[in-house]
Structure 1
Amino acid sequence: MELKEAFLLALQSLWSNKLRSVLTLLGIVIGVSSVIAVVTLVNGANAFISTKFSSYGADVFTVSKMPAFITSAEDYVRFQKRRDILLPDYYYVLENCKLCTGMGAQQATIGKIVHDTQSVTDSQIRGYTWQMPLLQNLNIVEGRGFTEADEEHASHVAIIGTDIVDHLLPGLDPLGQELHVDGVPYTVIGVSEKQGSTFGASQDNWVGVPLTAFQKSYGTAKTVTIYVKASSAGPPLEAAADEVRVLMSSRRHDAPNGLQSFELDTNNTLVGFASTLTKSFGIVAGAIALISLIVGGIVIMNIMLVSVTERTREIGIRKALGARPNDILNQFLIESGTMALVGGVFGVIGGIGVAEVVTLLIGFPSSIALWSVIVGLIMATATGVFFGVYPARKAAQLDPIVALRADM
């Protein structure tokens, strides 16, 4: 009953002084909201990154001019100076790699798609070798994918994303329709499965054409990204990656034991690097949240000191009726912990709300982690108890005779 009574007294105190309670708990609410929002967004980003890269398959790796992630302007300039990876490089690896079970190459640019009087701008134009849709796990829900003949003859055929269908071909059977891609006509032979949006950007506003046809329009002197599939993940992938690394190095005359003129990335490399970035972001945001919690705890301590002064006579009466110092100490600790817990609850709600709003506004992925909710509530309660120790001890050490003489 003592625990329940102290808990109810704390809630009653919060309710009877609403404005003071709001101001008191603001720091706790902001701190916990920050923790929950950051963890929810980071968790969502990690899940998206892992899903995005793993969609290529754990047995697929890429060879490109520049790495997927660049952390400094100096690195960007250095990577830009590398020679482009060209289509003959791809064909060389394709012909000589013994441990590769699948291989494709891709180029991309931004362009305008037109059908009759309708048009879509800022669409991604992708040049694919015939195996690329399979290597990227693009599911063709209507029609067919590319064939070796399409690539060999630079056929003017196209696979499109669902945004192109919705904006240019509403109500029409997309198969067989003619689209003009930056002025060049292509016949639609396939429609990809809807992929949705990421970070506010649609993943379905694209047109894929054979890479040979793409290069006739945009030139051959542009770097390509090579996708390589091994027989399986683990040692087979590592063996295939080593073979491709040797082939590319010899093809490009890289110095032995020197710097490579290309980047070879596996899914684990990309996911690990991205996770490191998001963890660093989470640590910085967590430090900011910790500062908010400390500020909130100091405010709680201040309010509890005021409460001790206001309730001096009450404390004296309780001691006169037999309450021990530990009883008074526990009462005020429970009250301060309860106040912080209430702030933590509102902080959890606020943090989840902030993360969901960010997701709705810009499409940033979010995923609620139950452990973060529990940790947020524990942190809030612990902050309240920690900063409530001094006021509680002061209340417990009051002389009952002096306390009874205090004014009401």
Structure 2
Amino acid sequence: MEFKEAVKIALQSLWANKLRSVLTLLGVVIGVASVIAVVTLVNGANTYVATKFSSYGADVFTVSKMPQFITSAEDYERFQRRKDILFPDYQYIVDNCHRCRGIGAQQATVGKIVRGTESVTDSSIRGYTWQMPSLQNLNIMQGRGFTEADEEHASHVAIIGTDIQDHLFQGIDPIGQDLRVDGGVYTVIGISEKQGSTFGASQDNWVAVPLTTYQKSYGTSKTLTIYIKAGEAGPRLEAAADEVRVLVRSRRHDAPNAPDSFELDTNSTLVGFFGTITAIFGSVAGGLALIALVVGGIVIMNIMLVSVTERTREIGIRKALGAKPNDILMQFLIESATMALVGGAIGVMGGIIVAQIITLVAGFPSTVEVWSVFLGLVMATCTGIFFGVYPARKAAMLDPIVALRAD
């Protein structure tokens, strides 16, 4: 039998028994859709995180009390026992780091922004040194950023995100206008470029004020994060990071052989950690998808056995007309592979649709990779071939005389 004819028979069988076909292919569809959705979401998350962290600059690293990602309660408690990183520590690095090309610090809390009768809650209130916007690549699209004078005099000025502009200054130019940040009055001097959302959470609901002003309102005892620009990635970054590590260790009196009592993170460290987390998530989800494919394959094998029973007389006629066992074997293998491939194609489309729905509803980033589409189709086809071998072999081994007697 020609390949084209075998494929045609398989498609006719699927169309003739629509309900049975849907139930047969359901496992393959779910399995492939799961693979495509997971790969699409994981790739989207990795790409997004890599882009976001790299936007800080490949030559920027941070010094903080605690890492940005903590995986256990025990680690959290251990990190909490560390000494806070305070403004004098930041100033010490500023005064003594010779390889640093830019140094900034920030603190943050959550508060309420009010203007007139309008308000925005759960906003990020940030205390920035004057270099911080450039270290975080925050582009000021209107107005200006902070200056050394703003920091030195603890000026009551603010830079706002676009969410604050949209909610509190509709139809009004915010520059020069006043707003209240947790009760304190600040004059808007700049508006940041829109940052978008991360995993459904807006990155534009924030107000930044000079760090010295921030500490007058919220106190100086809370830990801060220090951002340091090396000027260039590679050896220069490593040299600057080593110098800062020595300075901070000496400042905090860490013993020579003791581990660091602080975290020094580069963008590659953070991206690599996130990549590890998404890889674990992908492995677990991939395992569940594999189980769905196995279940789908078993259902295909069962239906193919039923098909062999239903078409026993047809098999006998083909053999009587000269068909060889290999011809019968290939016919049923092609049919089972075609069935699985159809299910795989539906699963690919379903997985992409599911990923896009999650992106629209939850804001979780997704990126469709061409290789994942081919992977889903290949997995489905291989599942159909693997689980179709036994029914195909059973059909090929039928005795033509016995087959012709079948009703």
TM-score for both structures, normalised by structure 2: 0.99
Q: What is the alpha-carbon distance in structure 2 between the residues aligned to residue 363 and residue 107 of structure 1?
A: 26
2:349 is aligned with 1:343: no
Question: Residue type matched to 1:70 in 2?
Answer: I
Question: Residue type matched to 1:311 in 2?
Answer: R
In the alignment, which residue of structure 2 is the partner of 1:182?
Answer: 182
Q: What is the alpha-carbon distance in structure 1 between the residues aligned to residue 333 and residue 230 of structure 2?
A: 61
In the alignment, which residue of structure 2 is the partner of 1:155?
Answer: 155
Question: Residue type matched to 1:111 in 2?
Answer: G
In the alignment, which residue of structure 2 is the partner of 1:10?
Answer: 10
Q: What is the alpha-carbon distance in structure 1 between the residues aligned to residue 197 and residue 102 of structure 2?
A: 28
In the alignment, which residue of structure 1 is the partner of 2:48?
Answer: 48
Offset from partner CA, 1:340-390 (integer Å, 9 cap, x none): 000000110111111111111111111111111101100000000010001
2:107 is aligned with 1:107: yes
In the alignment, which residue of structure 2 is the partner of 1:377?
Answer: 377
Partner secondary structure for residue 57 of structure 1 = coil
Partner secondary structure for residue 171 of structure 2 = coil
Q: Map of 1:27-38 to 2, 5 A cutoff?
A: 27-38=27-38
In the alignment, which residue of structure 2 is the partner of 1:406?
Answer: 406
Q: Map of 1:285-304 to 2, 5 A cutoff?
A: 285-304=285-304
Q: Map of 1:360-371 to 2, 5 A cutoff?
A: 360-371=360-371
In the alignment, which residue of structure 1 is the partner of 2:77?
Answer: 77
Partner secondary structure for residue 233 of structure 1 = coil
Partner secondary structure for residue 106 of structure 1 = strand
In the alignment, which residue of structure 2 is the partner of 1:250?
Answer: 250
2:90 is aligned with 1:90: yes
Offset from partner CA, 1:105-153 (integer Å, 9 cap, x none): 0000000101111111111000000000000000000000000000000
What is the CA-CA distance between 1:200 and the residue it aligns to? 1.1
In the alignment, which residue of structure 2 is the partner of 1:134?
Answer: 134
What is the CA-CA distance between 1:259 and the residue it aligns to? 2.0
Q: Map of 1:194-233 to 2, 5 A cutoff?
A: 194-233=194-233
Question: Residue type matched to 1:278 in 2?
Answer: T
Q: What is the alpha-carbon distance in structure 1 between the residues aligned to residue 211 and residue 34 of structure 2?
A: 46
Runs of 4+ with >6 A deviation: none
Q: What is the alpha-carbon distance in structure 2 between the residues aligned to residue 81 and residue 369 of structure 1?
A: 44
Q: What is the alpha-carbon distance in structure 2 between the residues aligned to residue 345 and residue 231 of structure 1?
A: 49
Offset from partner CA, 1:271-300 (integer Å, 9 cap, x none): 001101100111111111111111111110
What is the CA-CA distance between 1:68 and the residue it aligns to? 1.0
Q: What is the alpha-carbon distance in structure 1 between the residues aligned to residue 271 and residue 196 of structure 2?
A: 21
Q: What is the alpha-carbon distance in structure 1 between the residues aligned to residue 257 and residue 367 of structure 2?
A: 43
Partner secondary structure for residue 406 of structure 2 = coil
Identity %: 78
Question: Residue type matched to 1:352 in 2?
Answer: I
Partner secondary structure for residue 185 of structure 1 = strand
Q: What is the alpha-carbon distance in structure 1 between the residues aligned to residue 98 and residue 347 of structure 2?
A: 57
In the alignment, which residue of structure 1 is the partner of 2:240?
Answer: 240
Question: Residue type matched to 2:217 in 1?
Answer: S
In the alignment, which residue of structure 1 is the partner of 2:323?
Answer: 323
Question: Residue type matched to 1:110 in 2?
Answer: V
Partner secondary structure for residue 95 of structure 2 = helix
Offset from partner CA, 1:297-336 (integer Å, 9 cap, x none): 1110010000000000001111111111111110000000
Alpha-carbon RMSD: 0.7
In the alignment, which residue of structure 2 is the partner of 1:67?
Answer: 67
TM-score for both structures, normalised by structure 1: 0.99
Partner secondary structure for residue 119 of structure 1 = strand
2:279 is aligned with 1:279: yes
Q: What is the alpha-carbon distance in structure 2 between the residues aligned to residue 399 and residue 339 of structure 1?
A: 26
The unaligned stretches of length 5 or more in structure 2 are none
In the alignment, which residue of structure 2 is the partner of 1:267?
Answer: 267
In the alignment, which residue of structure 2 is the partner of 1:22?
Answer: 22
Offset from partner CA, 1:208-249 (integer Å, 9 cap, x none): 100000000000000000000002000000000000000000
Question: Residue type matched to 2:156 in 1?
Answer: H
Question: Residue type matched to 1:250 in 2?
Answer: S
